Each structure stands twice: as structure tokens, then as C-alpha cells.
Amino acid sequence: MNAASLVASLSIVGLLAGCATGYQPSGMNGGFSETQLDTNVFRVSFKGNGYTSRDKVEDFVLLRSADLTLSHGFTHFAIVDGKSYENKSYISMPTQSYTTGTATVSGHTAYGSAYTTTYGGQVIAVTAPSMVNTIVAFQGKPNIQAMVYDARFICESLGTKYEVTCGRGQK
């Protein structure tokens, strides 16, 4: 890999790291959405973009589940169905070519040579993770055979990690 290709690759990596989807309602760059299926049942989804890690998507769908649970007056929730997806796309980087040459004239004859260098043309795979959970919310911790989450605890731990405040009625 030559210096120009290395600089281009590092620039792309730098851009990718700074553009991950944040904890936000669904928009052009991803985010969360939900559908209320019953009084205490919600389908919660989070779509990341190509710069969002799968771990962050898992955290954000869990955080949104806790946020919804609290904002609807419940204290705990259980995930009764969960699915994760990956949307793959490919980006072809543009190519640039540079030609340098020399020419020598001797009488009525010209002699020359040229050298062309081409940069770019790499294909970059972009994976955008997403996740959908169906949750059931409860008032108080139920005595059921399922993993039950304390919504306030999730909001505090993941909220602190991502500097998000949840459970204040954001619907």
C-alpha cells in the first residue's frame, strides 16, 4: 500500500468513527422506533448506520426498552422475542490517475516516455446492524421464568455509559 492509499484509508476510518448513530429517534442515520402492541407490550427497534457497532445497537435497543418501560409507568420488562439484522452494502472509492512524461527532440524526431500511476478503486464493505425486541413491561418484578430487567437500573447504567437521561416521558 503506497502512502496516498494509506492516507485515504486512514481518513475514511477517521470519518467512520465520528459518525455512529446516537441514541435518537429514527432518522436518516438510524435511531430507535417503537410500536405499542398492547397496554404493556412494545416492539422496540434500533437501526445503526455503517459506523455503529453491533454492541452499541444492542445497548441502545435495551436502553430504549427501559426508557419506554419507565415512561409508561412500569418498572421492569422482559424480552419475549428478539432479532438482529445486518444490512451490507459496498462502496467503491474513486480512482485518480497521474501521468508524468518526458520528451526529447533530435532533429525531426521526438523520443519520449510516460508513466501513469493510479490510486484508489478500493471496495469497502459497510455493515449496518439493527435489532428488534418485543418486550412486556411490568409494574414490579414479576415471578416468571424469564430474564427480567429492572428498567431504572438499565437507564442508570447504560444512560451513564452513553450520557443519556431516560424515563422522563419521552414517547
Instruction: Give me the mean pLDDT over the 50-76 stretch.
Output: 96
Q: Return the closest-CA partner of residue 63 out of 137, 156, 134, 146.
A: 156
Rounded Cα distance between 18 and 50, Å, is 11
Residue 7 pLDDT exceeds 50: no
Say if CB 31 and CB 4 are below 8 A apart.
no
Rounded Cα distance between 15 and 163, Å, is 22
Average pLDDT of the chain to the nearest whole number: 88
* Domain locations along the chain: 3-162
pLDDT at residue number 145: 86
**CB atoms near residue 61 (< 10 Å):** 24
Residue 68 pLDDT exceeds 90: yes
Residue 165 burial class via C-beta count within 10 angstroms: exposed 0-12, middle 13-18, buried 19 and up: exposed
pLDDT at residue number 166: 84
At 41, give phi and psi (nearest 5°): -125, 130
Residue 170 pLDDT exceeds 70: no
Residue 16 pLDDT exceeds 70: no
Question: pLDDT tens digits, residue range 114-156?
Answer: 999 998 889 999 999 999 999 999 999 999 888 999 999 999 9
64 vs 120, more confident: 64
- pTM passes above 0.85: no
